[in-house]
Amino acid sequence: MKIRIALIIFFTSISVIALALIGKKYNPENEFVGSWEEIDWNIKGAEKSVVTNLGLVQAQSAEEEDSIRFHVAKSWKFKPGGILILEDKNKERQLEWRLKGRGHILEISDGVVTEFYDINLLSDEKIELNYIAPSFVKDYARLVIKRSS
């Protein structure tokens, strides 16, 4: 009888440990956490009136809210808990971020305007993001950032 109880406890503890290890999945959000530097903004098909600033400057009109917002920050700091800090010279702006879908869509929001980026490349040293524009905007924007040393 004591052997049965010992075996049940042994196999139960092995099962719990195995389930705990399986349950601890890879979280792609951990790949984003850290400091990044902006390398390139590649915008095609956008007119001056379509590209506006959201990163450190608010859109001024309703027309600008439906356009591609050009973040002007040189430093992107993704923090745990969904906090994104954009810095440029003496200016700093705090936004919210999270991954959507199967971890292939980056959502950035300032509480009023929400942007979506398709994650084209995610490595330890570089991230390429393609802006997902509303269907009526025919512009294309790609942002490339690299990990700060």
Tens of pLDDT, residues 111-132: 887 888 889 898 889 999 888 7
Domain coordinates in residue numbering, the chain: 28-147
pLDDT of 106 strictly over 70? yes
Q: Is 16 helix (H, G, I), strand (E, B) or coil?
A: helix
Residue 79 has pLDDT above 90, yes or no: yes
CA 7 – CA 82 distance, rounded (Å): 44
Superfamily for domain range 28-147: Calycin beta-barrel core domain (2.40.128.20)
- Predicted local distance difference test score (pLDDT) of residue 47: 45
Greater model confidence, 135 or 149: 149
Contacting residues for 126 by C-beta, under 8 A, at least 6 apart = 39, 144, 145, 146, 147
**Residue 131 or residue 45, greater confidence:** 131
Q: Residue 52 — very low, low, confident or very high, per pLDDT cuts 50/70/90?
A: very low
The owner of tokens 């439906």 is: 66
What is the rounded average pLDDT for all residues in the chain? Answer: 76
* pLDDT band per the 50, 70, 90 thresholds, residue 83: very high
Q: Is the pLDDT of residue 138 over 60?
A: no
Q: Give the contacts of 74 (CB within 8 A, at least 6 positions apart).
A: 37, 38, 87, 88, 89
CA dihedral 26, 32, 33, 37 (to 10 degrees): 160
